[in-house]
Amino acid sequence: MTLPTRAVAPSFTPQDFRSALGTFATGVTIVTAIDSSGQAVGLTANSFNSVSLSPPLVLWSLARSAGSMPAFARGSHYAINILSAEQRDLAERFAAKGADRFAGVAFREGAGGAPILEGACAVFECFNRSQYEEGDHIIFVGEVERCEQREGALPLIFHGGRYFTELPL
């Protein structure tokens, strides 16, 4: 028997695929960096996951079409801010087109100038270690230089296209 060398064409629609992916409940992050002119950039992302404990590695993926792609592709560092239950408005703002995303947002500069958002559950300050082109996204693997956690903070949760502050049982 010869083994297949490539996948068969999908038997489902893009809508089916999105819907099935949406059953996987995730946290919500805002990934931030500065661009080549020193301007803060950031977007809402739930593609975050852990990769390795030693060395400490995490990953997330960014649409090739994202406006912030040049900043993340070329920058030395980014910060992954894990949003707390009170930060739903920030999640929505950092996913919306056209908004001045950082207007009125309290943050400090982390490694490489990447904004660290006040009130986040946890923050991973990453060296931009490697990037992998796959389909319509680029997978970023970050090497965590510093991480911090806010004691007692509850996470924001995303499931089925909706935000939750607690998962219903």
* Residue ranges that bind ligand FMN, judged by CB under 6 A: 28, 43-47, 60-63, 66-68, 95, 97, 158
Strand partners, 108: 116
Of the pair 47, 141, the CB lying nearest ligand FMN is at 47
CB of 46 to ligand FMN, least distance (A): 4
CB-based contacts of 28: which residues, under 8 Å, 6+ apart? Answer: 44, 45, 46, 82, 83, 87, 91, 155, 156, 157, 158, 163
Tell whether the torsion through CA atoms of 157, 162, 163 and 169 is positive or negative: negative
CB of 25 to ligand FMN, least distance (A): 11
CB of 47 to ligand FMN, least distance (A): 3
The tokens of 135 are what? 């389909």
Cis peptide leading into 55, omega within 30 of 0? yes
CB of 151 to ligand FMN, least distance (A): 25
Of the pair 1, 20, the CB lying nearest ligand FMN is at 20
Of the pair 14, 151, the CB lying nearest ligand FMN is at 14
- Sheet of strand 49-52, all strands in order from the earlier edge strand to the far edge: 40-45, 29-34, 77-82, 122-134, 137-149, 57-63, 49-52
CA distance 111 to 98: 27
Of the pair 44, 87, the CB lying nearest ligand FMN is at 44
Of the pair 2, 15, the CB lying nearest ligand FMN is at 15
CB of 4 to ligand FMN, least distance (A): 29
Please answer whether residues 118 and 107 qualify as being in contact, where contact means their C-beta atoms are separated by less than 8 angstroms: yes
